Amino acid sequence: MSRTYFVTGAQGCIGSWVVRLILEQGDRAVLFDLDHHDKRLAQVLSPEQLAAVDRVQGDVTDTAVVRQAIEACQADAIIHLAGLQVPFCAADPVLGARVNVVGTLNMFEAARAIGLPRLVYASSAAVYDQAEGLEQVDESVTPAPATHYGVYKLANEGNARVYWQDAGLASVGLRPLTVYGLGRDQGLTSGPTRALKAASLGRAFTIGFSGPTDFLYVADAARAFVECATAPLDGARIFNLHGESVDVAAAVALMDEVLPEPQRGLIQVDGPVLPIAPRLSDAALRAALPDLPSTSLREGFGATLQHFQELASAGRLPTDDLDS
Ligand X SMILES: NC(=O)c1ccc[n+]([C@@H]2O[C@H](COP(=O)([O-])OP(=O)(O)OC[C@H]3O[C@@H](n4cnc5c(N)ncnc54)[C@H](O)[C@@H]3O)[C@@H](O)[C@H]2O)c1
Say whether residue 245 binds ligand X (CB under 6 A). no
Whole-angstrom distance, CA of residue 40 vs CA of residue 18? 12
Scanning 54-62, 191-199, 246-254, 276-284 for contacts with ligand X by CB under 6 A, the matching segment is 54-62
Residue of minimal Cβ distance to ligand X: 12
Scanning 82-90, 135-143, 162-170, 226-234 for contacts with ligand X by CB under 6 A, the matching segment is 82-90
Residue type, 274: L
Whole-angstrom distance, CA of residue 111 vs CA of residue 91? 30
Say whether residue 189 binds ligand X (CB under 6 A). yes
**Which residue's CB is nearer to ligand X, number 207 or number 263?**
207
Say whether residue 300 binds ligand X (CB under 6 A). no
Scanning 83-91, 204-212, 254-262, 304-312 for contacts with ligand X by CB under 6 A, the matching segment is 83-91
Give SS3 for 176.
coil
Say whether residue 38 binds ligand X (CB under 6 A). no
**Which residue's CB is nearer to ligand X, number 60 or number 305?**
60
Scanning 7-15, 231-239, 264-272, 283-291 for contacts with ligand X by CB under 6 A, the matching segment is 7-15
Residue 30 forms beta bridges with which residues? 6, 54
R_g of the chain, CA atoms, integer Å: 19
Whole-angstrom distance, CA of residue 43 vs CA of residue 40? 5
Residue 192's nearest CA partner among 234, 244, 260 is 244
CB of 269 to ligand X, least distance (A): 18
Residue 198's nearest CA partner among 44, 320, 16 is 320
* b/e 47-73 (16+ beta carbons within 10 angstroms → b): eebbeebebbebebbeeebbbebbeeb
Residue type, 16: S
Give SS3 for 236.
strand
Say whether residue 176 binds ligand X (CB under 6 A). yes
Q: Contacting ligand X (CB under 6 A), which of 22, 28, 33, 308? A: 33
Say whether residue 191 binds ligand X (CB under 6 A). no
User: What Å distances lie between residue 322 and 177, 220, 234, 264, CA to CA?
Assistant: 21, 24, 42, 17
Scanning 21-29, 31-39, 286-294, 296-304 for contacts with ligand X by CB under 6 A, the matching segment is 31-39
Say whether residue 186 binds ligand X (CB under 6 A). yes
Give Cβ neighbours of residue 214 (< 8 Å, ≥ 6 apart): 125, 177, 178, 241, 242, 243, 244, 245, 278, 279, 280
Scanning 136-144, 185-193, 229-237, 277-285 for contacts with ligand X by CB under 6 A, the matching segment is 185-193
CB of 218 to ligand X, least distance (A): 8
Give SS3 for 289.
coil
Q: Contacting ligand X (CB under 6 A), which of 5, 6, 7, 14? A: 14
Q: Which helix (H) or strand (E) holds 229?
A: helix 218-230
Q: Contacting ligand X (CB under 6 A), which of 78, 82, 119, 248? A: 82
Residues that bind ligand X (CB under 6 A): 8-9, 11-15, 33-35, 59-61, 81-85, 99, 103, 122, 124, 176-179, 186-187, 189
